[in-house]
């Protein structure tokens, strides 16, 4: 069952099952203060995640490296955009150590790293990625690290550079179904993202591979199932996450539909039936939400 949008021109009202209480203001404010003191960013803030109060209150955060300006213009994303030819932005050489220091201060046992796209860099920022993974692993040798990477424009040497640093989970999001890529991710390529995941699994079978997608962008049920099949057969992913797309600002792509909770359960069952070790699906699911518990379910 779909919850239809009331009016094409209006910002849709959220159904009750998508209303999440926001009450942990002190925890959110305190963690933001700590992050800003080290010039660090989180995707939780930049992408306006609805789970931020819950996650920050339990000292969980997804560190976003390579700065806070992205070189791509995906229609679903609210992370700030910039053209480095017009507004050059340098890498923060202290960022890897600062991420490690903050993760250690928080006493994290599971650290999730992600980044903006930095297409202007020759290596896509992969060496910076690797340095951050190594710094976190040195500071927290007992912790597990999940890397949610960009596609590095299909550069498998860059992918290998991150993998060689030793993450426990390699995550790269498909985001949406093949038919919608040109409108939702105009600077990305569906087959290329599958190749990134396939390389990660074939080159490092000991590392869990993971990918996430959003629903509510205009896809059909069969297209979601096809994407799941592609992730298993072409990308060889171990874990899939499925969550509701929510329009972060009026400038972003409008929500096409709100998916009822029962549909997520059907996709979870289907995904597990075709070989996923874990499928985490629900209205509030995001790729890095409860990542430690999902990895544990998958056997990490």
CATH no., domain 22-297:
3.20.20.70
- Per-residue pLDDT tens digits for 146-159: 999 999 999 999 99
Which pLDDT score is estimated for 185? 95
Structure confidence at residue 3 as a pLDDT band (50, 70, 90): very low
Tally the C-alpha atoms within 13 A of residue 250's C-alpha that lie toward its C-beta: 4
Instruction: Give every CB contact of residue 134 below 8 A, 6+ residues apart in sequence.
Output: 96, 165, 166
- Per-residue pLDDT tens digits for 6-28: 444 444 566 766 555 555 556 66
> CA nearest 188: which of 112, 75, 79?
75
Residues in the chain: 300
Structure tokens at 287: 């790729």
C-alpha–C-alpha distance, residues 78 and 145, integer Å: 25
Which pLDDT score is estimated for 4? 44
Which pLDDT score is estimated for 34? 73
Which pLDDT score is estimated for 10? 47
Give the DSSP H or E segment for 163. helix 156-164
Q: What does residue 108 show for φ and ψ, rounded to 5 degrees?
A: -70, 140
Cβ atoms of 24 and 57 closer than 8 Å: yes
Q: Check whether 77 has a pLDDT greater than 90.
A: no
**Which stretch of 38-42, 53-57, 133-137, 229-233 has the lowest confidence by average pLDDT?**
53-57
Domain segments of the chain as ranges: 22-297
Q: What is the pTM of this model?
A: 0.87
Which pLDDT score is estimated for 235? 93
Cβ atoms of 46 and 80 closer than 8 Å: yes
Which pLDDT score is estimated for 177? 98
C-alpha–C-alpha distance, residues 35 and 184, integer Å: 30
- Per-residue pLDDT tens digits for 188-240: 999 999 999 999 999 999 999 999 999 999 999 999 999 999 999 999 999 99
């Amino acid at each position: 069952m779909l919850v239809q949008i009331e009016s094409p021109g209006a910002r849709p009202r959220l159904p009750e099952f998508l209303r999440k209480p926001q009450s942990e203001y002190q925890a959110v404010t305190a963690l933001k203060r700590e992050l800003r003191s080290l010039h660090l960013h989180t995707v939780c803030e930049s992408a306006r995640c609805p789970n931020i109060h819950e996650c920050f209150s339990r000292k969980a955060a997804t560190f976003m490296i390579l700065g806070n300006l992205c070189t791509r213009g995906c229609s679903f994303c609210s992370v700030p955009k910039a053209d480095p030819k017009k507004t050059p932005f340098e890498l923060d050489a202290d960022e890897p150590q600062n991420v490690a220091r903050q993760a250690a201060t928080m006493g994290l046992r599971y650290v999730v790293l992600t980044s903006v796209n930095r297409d202007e860099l020759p290596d896509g920022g992969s060496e910076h990625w690797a340095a951050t993974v190594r710094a976190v692993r040195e500071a927290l040798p007992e912790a597990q690290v999940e890397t949610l990477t960009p596609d590095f424009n299909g550069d498998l040497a860059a992918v290998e550079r991150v993998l060689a640093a030793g993450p426990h989970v390699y995550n790269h999001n498909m985001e949406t179904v093949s038919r919608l890529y040109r409108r939702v991710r105009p600077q990305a390529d569906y087959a290329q993202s599958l190749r990134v995941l396939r390389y990660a699994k074939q080159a490092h079978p000991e590392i869990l591979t993971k990918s996430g997608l959003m629903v509510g962008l205009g896809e059909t049920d069969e297209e979601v199932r096809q994407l799941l099949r592609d992730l298993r057969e072409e990308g060889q992913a171990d874990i899939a996450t499925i969550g509701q797309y929510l329009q972060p600002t009026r400038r972003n792509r409008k929500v096409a539909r709100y998916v009822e909770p029962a549909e997520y359960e059907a996709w979870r069952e289907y995904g597990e039936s075709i070989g996923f070790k874990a499928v985490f699906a629900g209205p509030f699911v995001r790729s890095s939400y409860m990542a430690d518990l999902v990895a544990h379910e998958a056997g990490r």
